[in-house]
């Protein structure tokens, strides 16, 4: 995700923090999504005050979107009428923990759940 930003006016550094378990934020304001959901990440920016300015804070709440999954098929089998072959798909998103399942809408062939 992109870095958040705030405009300093006291000259003091801005610190970023979150109490949300759905995201984390670095001291540079770079947010990392951990759990998807609507309005589940709240970041607070704080700037210490000085003789001229009071302490300043700003809060921003936003959602963490779901990550895309990418599946890739291997080489297509050559199958004759009445014959069998198998297909195999792999996930480029192995951390999803989701199983790959197979199905077809074609009447020219059938597929089992195992591929």
Q: Which two tokens stand for residue 22?
A: 């759905």
Q: What is the pLDDT of residue 3?
A: 52
Alpha-carbon distance 115 to 112, whole Å? Answer: 5
CB atoms within 10 A of CB 45: 20
**In this structure, are residues 104 and 85 in contact, taking their beta carbons and an 8 Å threshold?**
no
The answer to whether 88 and 74 are in contact (CB under 8 A) is yes
Instruction: Tell me the pLDDT tens digit for each residue of 59-99.
Output: 999 999 988 888 888 898 888 988 988 888 888 776 777 77
Give the model's pLDDT for residue 113: 73
Domain ranges of the chain: 14-64, 68-115
């Amino acid at each position: 995700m992109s870095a958040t930003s705030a405009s300093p006016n006291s000259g003091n550094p801005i610190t970023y923090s979150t109490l949300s378990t759905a995201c984390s934020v670095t001291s540079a304001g770079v947010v990392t999504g951990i759990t998807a959901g609507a309005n589940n990440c709240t970041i607070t920016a704080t700037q210490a005050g000085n003789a001229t300015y009071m302490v300043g804070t700003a809060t921003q709440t936003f959602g963490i979107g779901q990550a895309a999954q990418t599946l890739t098929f291997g080489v297509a089998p050559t199958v004759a009428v009445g014959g069998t072959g198998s297909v195999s798909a792999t996930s480029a998103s192995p951390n999803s923990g989701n199983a790959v399942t197979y199905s077809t809408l074609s009447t020219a062939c059938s597929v089992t759940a195992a591929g």
